[in-house]
Structure 1
């Protein structure tokens, strides 16, 4: 997710954000002089589990979401949207594993829907909606794998975002005045359109089929898997966290460009609305190539961008979701797109096990955006560090250290700027070659997984041969800016 800092964040925060968002970029970056050549597309391999197996844990920030007793392996979503009566009809076929013995199958799901037929392993089962949960009365012993099928219908309803950001919008599947659909759902909100284990530690594989009104298009996360009449299909063969899924339905124009090593990049723009933004979006291969030269091959088989009526942007896996308002400033758009594409390595390929470590996503993407902005300007990073340190002091005082976010302040400036400064200290100590090798290895070795701070600290030590735990922990935990 990209941060748009409101005026209330104060002068220091505004300075560093303006430096990140508004500075120009040209040429080759001076901080990355020795870069490995990109690998052929055919050599890109996923290091994570290819069957969707995860190790779910209870989220300490939003414990009402997610069920650590269940591990969803695969979601098969067959969706039909009727714009005329604002109804979403769905069948979710969910392959899941009982991590521990359960008396009921309990997943997150919006009470806005009416349930249809429910079955477990082909046998009808009783189910009900309990607040924000789907509860199915079927016991499973530890280790059991079962297939849950749920039919449902209703008008999607969003949930509030727990944040004070300037670009706060309701979370989840949104119905526009014209009957179109779009969603952004970090930290939760996938459960506004399908039954889900709506927590970051449970990644799963996906097959999504969405049937849309005649002449409209359906866009979802994953790799495009064909169109059959008015039904659009997508497949995710690398595990996805529920908050990183996306769906958009409306009048869209499809444009395909070629990324590095022949990578297909699909751009979806609202027909007759986003024509002026297409030129900015066509730069996507440039950003992906820049990132590959620093952090290794793009970790998925396809990339894309879908434009929606929003004030924000989101790193939804393989299909970045971005608001048309964000694209209205060409210079800002470059940084936002680079930031969201950087998340495909840092946050998507490997993400946080709980929202306690959202800094793992935003610190890397923010620092990478700063490096991108430094292209052609050797003095830029010194200016950025001075501004970032001034912002850091203010942010820690008002919002606390980045390693300890509070539930009512999700993804605010402290989890962006403060850990980006920590990475900058690592970069200065390691030098270009070792720092970028660290970034490449972190993503490549853990694609498809969700990890925590301890795993990152241990990995940095193993990768560099030096114990940086004191430095990392100081930047994540200190109430004041470390020296």
Structure 2
């Protein structure tokens, strides 16, 4: 009997070790790739020249005289020579008819063969990253520009255009964010110049070619297969995608709250198909939860596809076509949060786009907080707290608005999520979720700035939020660092408690914020009172019926703050 007990204990211990080990691996993976995205790490040097200040040089002000309405993009892929033949027609309105030239973003390593305006050959110059097309007729308020070209696209940023192989089969994929669509596509590469797209991709017949929108048709000519994809909703150039390779797939249907049926399909390399079925198959549930929180999926008339790609730094929310790096397709659901994050972008980032790259937190902070909202909806407040705790950091490397070189760093993702979390606490749940719904309604299929969002938050809540946005978005760096001490004494039948607080941080002089104070009594009974910090140093007095054995600040984890007790 004793031996059996020992054996039982040993087996139990080993099982516990196994469970802890598996959880540790899972925890490591989720923290190493918390959303399956490490954009700010892998390509920091390549993106450095494209800080927000440089982006303004990349997009000359004269581009604002152009409003692109439609792109017809014809791309012929030559995977053996690793080159493309492109034929792009751009329909645009001219806000300034007197402009002498039209500046398109396009890299000068590509060989331009033909440029036309309304079917007539036009003079042009290609210098560095700008294709400047001369416009002779000043009476036109709308035109069609056609550019025919060929060459091997540069692969910049996160890998803007890539010819690779997988198990001896060619594979091509693009990833344009933030401003690298122009490595392979002449365009106005601004996030707020959305347009409709007809995409024609021609490749070998063994390859499946994917892009945004709905599949119109396929055609085989001279041993090559052309896929025609068409968007119904406008799209930013950084969200335009091409994936082409030897894919296997499976599909699902999702019934939206609008009663429309949404096509879901998932594409993976044959060797990863079974893993993809395990990893990707829960998307109907993700959609259901987000529709309950945010409203109907914004691209219901198109689709939602997820495809495995060979970018190994994360995932990318190409509009209606999320790309997932192959190392994240393992069949163990280690990267569920990544998939949820990318789906959330279809509300925040794709439907409501950023006005400029200075507003990138409106994309990434919103999608990151959406993951926390998803788990709150599924598992309750503790899941919300746990998810947000996993995004906690010191965030000392800059401001949230216009983050400079930290365009895709943890500052934008995690601090952005925390700002929304604190905003929710500041204005209350009713106002917060009403703001999200109104934000989507007002700016869907368009773009919004941080100032637009602030103005809307103030309108819905009836509050002046200048201080909140100044300390957390526009000017504050880092987080709150609050030291406190307390003492109590019996006065008559009650206890008088004095709480002293002092802000210690350097990134912002005086934060102003509400904070809950939890008084814990013997027997583990407790009560919470809310106070508002408005000074660097403050004193608060409380009258209590009992003497607390302990107090906790921010017990429900609403603040991006550290707390140092001077009573310890």
Q: TM-score, normalised by structure 1?
A: 0.81
| CA-CA distance at 1:274 after TM superposition | 4.1
Question: Given the alignment of the two structures, is residue 97 of structure 1 paired with residue 93 of structure 2, yes or no?
Answer: yes
Question: Given the alignment of the two structures, is residue 18 of structure 1 paired with residue 31 of structure 2, yes or no?
Answer: yes
2:103 to 88, 106, 130: 106
Q: What's 2:249 paired with?
A: 254
Q: What's 1:172 paired with?
A: 160
| CA-CA distance at 1:382 after TM superposition | 3.2
CA distance, structure 2, for counterparts of residue 473 and residue 310 of structure 1 = 37
1:293 partner SS: helix
Structure 2's unaligned 5+ residue stretches are 1-26, 36-51, 481-512, 514-568
CA distance, structure 2, for counterparts of residue 70 and residue 146 of structure 1 = 10
CA distance, structure 1, for counterparts of residue 136 and residue 423 of structure 2 = 49
2:77 partner SS: strand
Aligned alpha-carbon RMSD (Å) = 2.5
Q: What's 2:297 paired with?
A: 298
CA distance, structure 1, for counterparts of residue 456 and residue 320 of structure 2 = 26
| CA-CA distance at 1:270 after TM superposition | 2.2
| CA-CA distance at 1:283 after TM superposition | 1.5
**1:138-166, Cα deviation, whole Å (9 max, x unpaired):** 2464972110011111122212x3xxxxx
CA distance, structure 2, for counterparts of residue 174 and residue 459 of structure 1 = 41
Write the mapping of 1:463-482 to structure 2, written as runs, cut at 5 A.
463-476=460-473, 477-482=475-480
Structure 1's unaligned 5+ residue stretches are 1-13, 23-58, 162-169
Q: What's 2:452 paired with?
A: 455
Change (3 A) 1:140 1:450: farther
1:232 to 227, 230, 234: 227
**Larger Rg over CA atoms:** 2
CA distance, structure 2, for counterparts of residue 186 and residue 337 of structure 1 = 18
| CA-CA distance at 1:354 after TM superposition | 0.8
CA distance, structure 2, for counterparts of residue 134 and residue 152 of structure 1 = 12
Q: What's 1:205 paired with?
A: 196
Change (3 A) 1:254 1:128: farther
Question: Given the alignment of the two structures, is residue 309 of structure 1 paired with residue 306 of structure 2, yes or no?
Answer: no
2:335 to 333, 336, 357: 333
| CA-CA distance at 1:173 after TM superposition | 0.9
| CA-CA distance at 1:61 after TM superposition | 5.0
CA distance, structure 1, for counterparts of residue 326 and residue 197 of structure 2 = 27
2:408 partner SS: coil
| CA-CA distance at 1:400 after TM superposition | 0.7
Question: Given the alignment of the two structures, is residue 324 of structure 1 paired with residue 326 of structure 2, yes or no?
Answer: yes
1:479 partner SS: coil
CA distance, structure 2, for counterparts of residue 465 and residue 340 of structure 1 = 32
Change (3 A) 1:338 1:137: same
More divergent stretch after superposition (380-389 vs 456-465):
380-389
Change (3 A) 1:388 1:323: closer
Question: Would you say how many aligned residue pairs link Structure 1 and Structure 2?
Answer: 420
Change (3 A) 1:329 1:274: closer
8 Å CA contact 2:272–2:329 kept in 1: the answer is no
| CA-CA distance at 1:77 after TM superposition | 0.5
Write the mapping of 1:12-91 to structure 2, written as runs, cut at 5 A.
18=31, 21=34, 60-66=53-59, 67-91=63-87
More divergent stretch after superposition (328-337 vs 198-207):
328-337
| CA-CA distance at 1:452 after TM superposition | 0.8
| CA-CA distance at 1:357 after TM superposition | 0.7
Question: Given the alignment of the two structures, is residue 278 of structure 1 paired with residue 277 of structure 2, yes or no?
Answer: yes
Q: What's 2:213 paired with?
A: 222
**1:283-324, Cα deviation, whole Å (9 max, x unpaired):** 222111111110000001221112101121111111111111
| CA-CA distance at 1:377 after TM superposition | 4.7
**1:241-292, Cα deviation, whole Å (9 max, x unpaired):** 1111111111112322112322111222223344422221122221111111
8 Å CA contact 2:352–2:446 kept in 1: the answer is yes
| CA-CA distance at 1:16 after TM superposition | 13
CA distance, structure 1, for counterparts of residue 413 and residue 187 of structure 2 = 27
Q: What's 1:405 paired with?
A: 403
Q: What's 1:136 paired with?
A: 133
CA distance, structure 2, for counterparts of residue 330 and residue 16 of structure 1 = 11
CA distance, structure 2, for counterparts of residue 133 and residue 145 of structure 1 = 21
Q: What's 1:4 paired with?
A: none
Higher relative contact order (CA 8 A, sep 6+): 1
| CA-CA distance at 1:228 after TM superposition | 2.3
8 Å CA contact 2:110–2:152 kept in 1: the answer is yes
8 Å CA contact 1:16–1:384 kept in 2: the answer is no
**1:56-103, Cα deviation, whole Å (9 max, x unpaired):** xxx745123333232211100011112222221111010112233321
CA distance, structure 2, for counterparts of residue 307 and residue 326 of structure 1 = 9
| CA-CA distance at 1:388 after TM superposition | 4.2
More divergent stretch after superposition (301-310 vs 366-375):
366-375
| CA-CA distance at 1:364 after TM superposition | 0.7
8 Å CA contact 1:20–1:384 kept in 2: the answer is no
| CA-CA distance at 1:386 after TM superposition | 4.8
CA distance, structure 2, for counterparts of residue 115 and residue 411 of structure 1 = 32
1:158 partner SS: coil
Question: Given the alignment of the two structures, is residue 426 of structure 1 paired with residue 419 of structure 2, yes or no?
Answer: no
Q: What's 1:343 paired with?
A: 345
More divergent stretch after superposition (78-87 vs 293-302):
78-87
CA distance, structure 2, for counterparts of residue 470 and residue 260 of structure 1 = 43
8 Å CA contact 2:248–2:273 kept in 1: the answer is no
